[in-house]
Amino acid sequence: MTEASSDRLVGAAIGASAAPAAILGAGWSALGASGPGAWALAFAAGALLGSSTWEVFLGERQAGPGYGALFGGCAGLLSGAVVGGPVGGVFGCFGGALAGSGITQARGLLSEQSAVLRFVALALLGSLISAGAAWGMTL
């Protein structure tokens, strides 16, 4: 895979990792759906949004933790609002920001792996961070 498509997978992993926070926020507030279909929709919407906009907003800059947090927060806000309403958007924004920052810091550790394995590993890492952030918001 080329470097550009590999970067798109990083954007997809950041966008998708906001899904757990968005769904937990929607379920916590009882404003949105929280079934398996909503999980799949949030994951797919975040991944699609992340992969299609990562390179557009990055431009020629290097992706650091600050950019990852900003990008993850925006992707989480939009995908969370789609499936979880306003509270899902807020939870998705916070969870996506933390996950985006963590993913941009961890992506260098997996540079030797295949692109698909990197996507899966980074999306799982981001999802754990995002879910932890959402759980912390409910305390």
Neighbouring CB atoms inside 10 A of 65's CB total 13
Q: Which of 37 and 105 is assigned the larger pLDDT?
A: 105
pLDDT in tens, 55-84: 888 877 788 888 999 999 999 898 888 888
Is the pLDDT assigned to residue 44 strictly greater than 60? yes
Question: What pLDDT is attached to residue 72?
Answer: 92
Question: What pLDDT is attached to residue 107?
Answer: 85
Is the pLDDT assigned to residue 46 strictly greater than 80? yes
Assign residue 47 a region (left: φ > 0; alpha: ψ between -120 and 50; beta: otherwise). alpha
Q: For the chain, what are the domain ranges?
A: 3-54+65-137
pLDDT in tens, 90-123: 999 999 999 999 999 998 887 777 888 889 999 9
User: Which tokens is 6 given?
Assistant: 């590999």
Question: What pLDDT is attached to residue 56?
Answer: 84
The single residue listed with the structure tokens 């995002």 is: 130
For residue 3, name the pLDDT band (cuts at 50, 70, 90): low
Q: Give the single-character DSSP code of 111.
A: T
User: Coil, helix or strand for 139?
Assistant: coil
